[in-house]
Each structure stands twice: as structure tokens, then as C-alpha cells.
């Protein structure tokens, strides 16, 4: 029986016309505040790292915390928000599944007096979240675009594998890349297709594209999981040595693949910075601060063969 106490509370709120703030569980004042960490998917090591760093920082600051996996499903995400509000969580550190579809969840939480701090991904409603801490995906992919042009010597056929079409990061990365590459007529994009930021889907997409376009020279992927999936497909097709693959994230396997000469470059994000900033903002909110930046960009750095030794998974070497 899936129905939980939280759903029953939610149902009572609806039936009796109560607002969420009236339905929040009250705790004794001497108990620590609670922070919910709602993540788009834990089927990607990058998001697991983001969640774990947020949880660790929340605990370091003296708060209880729990990680919720939305499994890239907005309905599942809504359930997590309802549960968090009804069970008395005091703040939500949030990695949205959909820039538009997640707006209502943020607004419901804030209306119930629960601040929401977005990490890495944003919602398309200015002022809905208390703050949004985001990678500067556009600028990061401008740098990747420049290196892509240089590596392919300004000519050749290439493929772009997009992330989730409902996520702003997908399009910010694509626009940053094309703001450079589209100025070179010798570079021709022969296919552009979404693989939802998923490694297995990217492998399938790449296998399908190779059947129609066996003579490509490069692949730009909107994240590292898809870059690894595309690379696997190229290995299986016997083309890994001649097709240059580019990713984005700074994931562990791609950093190692750059060292090994298998992947050309990635955009290093800093998930620990975003996670720790979000938890720190929640701490400051509890202590009375209300003036937070609506959007806080975190710089992305280009990682390639000649500087990869300076980096580890998800950041610079300590």
C-alpha cells in the first residue's frame, strides 16, 4: 500500500481547504531543523556527488537532512515536495527535473514557508526560488566550441547529442557551443538528437546516427554521461580512433578518458561549490537573512589533454 501518512495529510488539507503552512508537522524548538535534498536523478554519478555534498554540508552545519530521488519524473518530484512540506522540513535544496514543470513545486514550498535553493538546474520563474546557484553553462560551452573548432581544424561533419529538452542547461550549453561553431562554414552538423543526459540512451542514439552518417569527425555531447555513451558506440563501430568526442560536467570517467586520449575535452563544473553554497544559504536563511542573489553563476573551466593533470573528478585537485 503506497499511500503514506503524508498523502493522508495532503488529502485532509485539500478536503478541508487548509493551506500547506497549516498542515506542516510541528516539532519541539530544541530539535534540529531539517533540510530536504530533492535531486532530479541518482542514476548519474554527477548528481549523486551533488546530493552527497549538499547532505554533508547540511549535517556539518548541524541540520538533519535526507536525499530524495525524483528519477527524472516531475510527478515523483511533486510527491517529494508534498512529503517534505507535510513532514516539517524547513528548507529544500533542489535540483529540478524540468525548468517549467518544476515551478509549481517551488511555489508550493515557498507558499508554505519553506525556502527553496536550486542547485545546478534552474526553474523558469524569476523570483520563485529563494536563490538559484547555477553553472555558467553558456560560457563553458563557448570555450568548448573554440576548442572543438581548433581540434577539428575548422572542417568536418559532426553530431550534437542534447540533454533533456525541458532543462535550460541543455539549451544554454547548445547555444554556447553554436555561438562559436556556427561561424565556421567548413563544419557541418549532420545530426542533432536528445539522449536525456543518459549514457545508455546516448549509446543507442549514436549507434543509430552512425548508420546514416558513418563518416562523422566529431561529437559534442551536453554532458559527460552521454559522451561516454557516444564513445562506447564509436568503439563498437570501430571508429573511436578517428571521431573526436567532447563532453560537459567533469565526471570521473571522462577526466580519466581525457588522460587516456579517448575523450578530447569537458567543461568542468563544480558541484561541491553549488551544493555547499545552497546549504550555507539555507543556514543563513534560518538565522534571519533574506537578501539572496536570485541567480548565482558558478564558472566552468575547460579541461583538455594539456591541463587535465590539474583536475580530479568534479573539481580541481586538492
Report pLDDT digits (tens) over 189-206. Answer: 999 999 999 999 999 999
Helix intervals (H) in 220-314: 224-236, 252-259, 271-286
Alpha carbons 266 and 182: distance in angstroms, whole number? 19
Q: Which of 97, 133, 128 is nearest to 276 (CA)?
A: 133
| pTM for this predicted structure | 0.84
- Number of Cβ within 10 Å of residue 111's Cβ equals 12
Report pLDDT digits (tens) over 22-53. Answer: 555 556 667 889 999 999 999 988 999 999 99
Report pLDDT digits (tens) over 251-306. Answer: 999 999 999 999 999 999 999 999 999 999 999 999 999 999 999 999 999 999 99
Mean pLDDT of all residues in 140-161: 98
Q: Which of 50, 57, 63, 174 is nearest to 118 (CA)?
A: 50
Say what the pLDDT of residue 30 is. Answer: 73
Amino acid at each position: 500500500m503506497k499511500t503514506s501518512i503524508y498523502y493522508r495529510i495532503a488529502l485532509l488539507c485539500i478536503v478541508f481547504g487548509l493551506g500547506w503552512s497549516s498542515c506542516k508537522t510541528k516539532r519541539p524548538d530544541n530539535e534540529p531543523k531539517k533540510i530536504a535534498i530533492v535531486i532530479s536523478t541518482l542514476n548519474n554519478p554527477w548528481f549523486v556527488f551533488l546530493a552527497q555534498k549538499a547532505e554533508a554540508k547540511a549535517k556539518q552545519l548541524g541540520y538533519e537532512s535526507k536525499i530524495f530521488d525524483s528519477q527524472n519524473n516531475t510527478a515523483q518530484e511533486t510527491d517529494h515536495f508534498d512529503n517534505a512540506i507535510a513532514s516539517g522540513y524547513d528548507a529544500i535544496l533542489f535540483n529540478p527535473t524540468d525548468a517549467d514543470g518544476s515551478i509549481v513545486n517551488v511555489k508550493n514550498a515557498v507558499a508554505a514557508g519553506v525556502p527553496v535553493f536550486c542547485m545546478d538546474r534552474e526553474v523558469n520563474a524569476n523570483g520563485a526560488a529563494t536563490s538559484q546557484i547555477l553553472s555558467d553553462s553558456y560560457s563553458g560551452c563557448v570555450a568548448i566550441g573554440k576548442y572543438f573548432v581548433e581540434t577539428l581544424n575548422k572542417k568536418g561533419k559532426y553530431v550534437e547529442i542534447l540533454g533533456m529538452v525541458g532543462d535550460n542547461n541543455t539549451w544554454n550549453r547548445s547555444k554556447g557551443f553554436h555561438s562559436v561553431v556556427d561561424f565556421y562554414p567548413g563544419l557541418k552538423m549532420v545530426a542533432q538528437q536528445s539522449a536525456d543526459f543518459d549514457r545508455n540512451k546516448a549509446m543507442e542514439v549514436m549507434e543509430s546516427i552512425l548508420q546514416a552518417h558513418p563518416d562523422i569527425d566529431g561529437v559534442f555531447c551536453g554532458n559527460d554521461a552521454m559522451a561516454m555513451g557516444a564513445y562506447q558506440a564509436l568503439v563498437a563501430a570501430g571508429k573511436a580512433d578517428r571521431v573526436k568526442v567532447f563532453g560537459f560536467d567533469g565526471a570521473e570517467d571522462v577526466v580519466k578518458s581525457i588522460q587516456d586520449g579517448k575523450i578530447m575535452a569537458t567543461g568542468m563544473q563544480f558541484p561541491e561549490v553549488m551544493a555547499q553554497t545552497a546549504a550555507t544559504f539555507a543556514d543563513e536563511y534560518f538565522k534571519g537573512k533574506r537578501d539572496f542573489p536570485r541567480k548565482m553563476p558558478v564558472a566552468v573551466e575547460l579541461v583538455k589533454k594539456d591541463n587535465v593533470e590539474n583536475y580530479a573528478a568534479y573539481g580541481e585537485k586538492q
